[in-house]
Structure 1
Amino acid sequence: MAHFDRRALLLLAAGGIAASAGLRPDRGEAAMTAARQAGEWPVATPAEAGFAPDLEARIDALAADPRFGNLHSALVVRDGALVAERYYEGPDEAWGRPLGTRRFGPDDLHDLRSVSKSVVGLLYGIALAEGIVAPPDAPLLAQFPEYPDLADDPVRRRMTVGHALTMTLGTAWDEGLSYADPRNSEHAMELADDRYRYALDRPSVDEPGRKWTYNGGATALIGRLIVKGSGQSLHEYAESRLFGPLGIRASEWIRGRDGDCIAASGLRLRPRDLARIGRLALDGGVWQGERIVPADWLAASFRAHASAGELDYGYQWWLGPPAPDGRPGWVAGFGNGGQRLFLAPRLGLVVVVMAGNYNQPDAWKLPVAIITEAVLPALTRR
């Protein structure tokens, strides 16, 4: 259940203006003290990390804006140190299941929604290095011999694994409708008897690789290849190859009616642990001296493979406008309801935002505001 909004991309790319809100902020000092005592993160003051000292107050001010609502948490990490950590209260759900009003804290799991896609992208790179999945240039249908009839379409035969990674399959897919609408392609996929056949069997509307279309079915196919190659569920593979090495001890991956993990949007993590994944990506796939994700895979993931309007798209990651050196100015995972994992490599910056504005058309305003009105303007050292 992803959410894509062209306006969000415009604002985030341009550093535009928006506002957000939340309820009853928790004092960040207690959370930061707990992080220090638990040894989870090195902790730095905003001033030590190159921010104005009122960084957290700026986030709280946005959370208190009555025009918007339901900010659940916001974390800022710079150069490997936890700089700001804020938690709030508001209604929430777990992949559509209401959870009531929750007062959030450091130990609470939260839906990532389509930020899950970016995690799946990392997992595919790990699996590729292990030799258990096919490279991006491999024919996609060849990885699914259980559907021999689908190869009757010559256009479909030209689809590659890379086209799934970059959402350029050239098939009919529409996630612009509400996710409560059964005509929404991801909703329809979840209702299908076989989600993978459904994702592969969409009518061809363009040559593969020619046009980008937001497509949770593509991520489902990538996740399925990891499962087939590893012999584990997607969650089990993530725990053994990514979460465990990062020290992530609590996670959940929502499963569909078929019992398979919902690759495109079902992952639930603590905000601190999503920040670990962000820091891993900034550090070129190395965590505490251990290589977890191949450096060449991260480089490929953060390279523009498709144009997604005003932004580019890599291997399951959104890419901001290029910096002077040609690399993306920022990299991000976007999720329905206001979820964000935002990375600014040249600044050594990771921002995590989690919220509960699921399926709301203006949910993009909250994470955009946190990043462009609170975090980036507070920088005193670039």
Structure 2
Amino acid sequence: MDRRVFLAATGAALLARPAAAQVPIRQWAQLSLGEAGFRPDAGERIEKAFAAGELKGLHGLVVLRHGKIALERYFPGADEIWGTDRGVIAFNADEMHDLRSVSKSIVGLLYGIALAEGLVPKPEASLLASFPDYPDLASDPARQRLWIEHVLTMTMGLEWDESLPYSDPRNSEIAMEQAPDRYRFVLDRPIIRPPGETWTYSGGATALLGHLIAKGAGQRLGLFASSRLFAPLGIHNFAWTNGFDGQEAAASGLRLRPRDLAAIGQLLLDKGVHEGRQVVPADWLTQSLTSRTKTGGGLHYGYQWYLPRYGTPSVRYGAFGNGGQRLLVAPDLDLVIAITAGNYNRPDGWQTSVKLADEFVFGGLAK
């Protein structure tokens, strides 16, 4: 699989880290393993595998079944915040964790909320019309073919390469961070393919979406996320790392606790409704979770969400982040898997999370 699927922007130890006050962890109803349909040794198998070195770098796992916690485990390990070393952390339910590119999928949900409020342009709208500060780019006939939907689906056709290490300034994500104007940098990339034709992994695309949300709402992205998505879900403890420009790094900077990440997955299962409130518009979820293109690794892709087909039965919706961060949703099983890990910037960093999900979560279900 194309390694870009699993990498998110990182490698910037100089970035500011917004603080978040500690508040009590959200409480979830619990199911026994038997009630949740798991083998009685499912949790023990995970613990033994970690002790044996089979799940290297694993930090946290929360599995929801039928809207309740069925499995929850935490392990100590080396960690960082957007490239800044934290040392070895004894992880627990209260500890926030970098989500890296899982942030992109959550920004996708925020865009739908903002769209329903009339704060951002529709997918079929012209992209450059939303960036009036760049009339020279808007006058380019080739760029007039760019729509918001091409940003949502990462099919802009612009030159962008995040396959290089994030320590390399030629990496497009790092070059964007170092540019004096990140949005001009993204929009001014050479056009190498017709818009809509080819999926290209791009943190720049999510940066554009985050900017449009913040601009339309008239407030920072994190504040909008807090009031419209997190607080309605009972999530009151989060952080969003800033980029070099002092604004939230939309593509990779969000930090949540694993239970709160799992709550996002449960929201997808519940068609955007939480405790009787429509938090994310149902029609936006339908649009976001419909296949629009295919990635270089053969996965399907919607609006900032991966639509994989693996597991038994299939995982239908997924969000992936550098280091092994995962949010996996299996509607056929009424099951959500949230994984945090510390295998940052390793080409094989995804393997622990895939092994955990396939062999120990799906593999732990009673036959």
The counterpart of 2:205, out of the listed 200, 207, 218, is 218
SS of aligned partner of 2:80 = strand
Deviations 1:41-81 (CA, angstroms, capped at 9, x unpaired)? 11001110111111111222332233652211111111101
Runs of 4+ that moved beyond 3 A: 6-9
What's the offset of the Cα at 1:320?
Answer: 1.4
Which amino acid in structure 1 is aligned with residue 102 of structure 2? V
- Distance in 2 (CA, whole Å) between partners of 1:341 and 1:321 is 14
- Distance in 2 (CA, whole Å) between partners of 1:258 and 1:7 is 25
Identify the residue that residue 5 of structure 1 maps to in structure 2.
Answer: 3
- Distance in 1 (CA, whole Å) between partners of 2:193 and 2:31 is 50
- Distance in 2 (CA, whole Å) between partners of 1:241 and 1:76 is 25
- Distance in 2 (CA, whole Å) between partners of 1:6 and 1:217 is 14
Deviations 1:103-158 (CA, angstroms, capped at 9, x unpaired)? 00111110000000000000000000001101100000000001111123222111
The counterpart of 1:88, out of the listed 75, 78, 96, is 75
Which amino acid in structure 1 is aligned with residue 304 of structure 2? Q
Over the residues paired in the alignment, what is the CA RMSD in angstroms? 2.0
- The answer to whether the 8 A contact 1:280-1:287 is kept is yes
- Correspondence 1:127-138 to 2 at 5 A: 127-138=114-125
Identify the residue that residue 215 of structure 2 maps to in structure 1.
Answer: 228
The counterpart of 1:299, out of the listed 286, 299, 311, is 286
Identify the residue that residue 298 of structure 2 maps to in structure 1.
Answer: 310
Identify the residue that residue 231 of structure 2 maps to in structure 1.
Answer: 244
Deviations 1:324-364 (CA, angstroms, capped at 9, x unpaired)? xxx97421000000100011111111001101111011101
- Correspondence 1:1-382 to 2 at 5 A: 5=3, 40-66=27-53, 69-308=56-295, 309-321=297-309, 329-380=315-366
Identify the residue that residue 10 of structure 2 maps to in structure 1.
Answer: none
- The answer to whether the 8 A contact 1:319-1:328 is kept is no
What's the offset of the Cα at 1:254?
Answer: 0.4
- Distance in 2 (CA, whole Å) between partners of 1:131 and 1:311 is 31
SS of aligned partner of 1:265 = coil
Report the number of matched residues.
Answer: 349
Cα 1:38–1:265, aligned 2, differ >3 Å: closer, same or farther?
closer
SS of aligned partner of 2:142 = helix
Cα 1:357–1:329, aligned 2, differ >3 Å: closer, same or farther?
closer
Cα 1:131–1:189, aligned 2, differ >3 Å: closer, same or farther?
same
- Distance in 1 (CA, whole Å) between partners of 2:25 and 2:120 is 37
Cα 1:184–1:69, aligned 2, differ >3 Å: closer, same or farther?
same
SS of aligned partner of 1:351 = strand
- Distance in 2 (CA, whole Å) between partners of 1:254 and 1:38 is 21
SS of aligned partner of 1:154 = coil
Cα 1:356–1:276, aligned 2, differ >3 Å: closer, same or farther?
same
Identity %: 54
TM-score, normalised to structure 2's length?
A: 0.91
Which amino acid in structure 1 is aligned with residue 299 of structure 2? L
What's the offset of the Cα at 1:275?
Answer: 0.6
Q: Which stretch of structure 1 is more off in the superposition, 125-134 or 61-70?
A: 61-70
- Distance in 1 (CA, whole Å) between partners of 2:82 and 2:341 is 13
- The answer to whether the 8 A contact 2:5-2:201 is kept is no
